[in-house]
Amino acid sequence: MQVSFRLRRYREQARNNLLSGQGRFLRAQRNVEVETVFGHIKHNMYFRRFSLRGLEKVKTEWGLVCIAHNM
């Protein structure tokens, strides 16, 4: 078994960032700004899966969904 002390330091730093005052504020903003958009796209636009395969095609499909949402 190996223990990565560098990874432990990174995890501790990430935990401290998330639990700081600014981290809590930024997480609260994400719920309002970002999650609402994905919820709207999934529920109201019934977009749960990509129809196409391949990274370029999926990027194009997602771009169209974003355009429709912004309109």
Return the pLDDT at 51.
95
State yes or no: pLDDT of 67 exceeds 80.
yes
Contact 39, 33 (CB under 8 A): no
Considering the entire predicted model, what is its pTM?
0.54
**What is the average pLDDT across 46-60?**
96
Residue type, 38: F
State yes or no: pLDDT of 47 exceeds 80.
yes
pLDDT, tens only, 7-43: 999 999 999 999 999 999 988 877 677 778 888 999 9
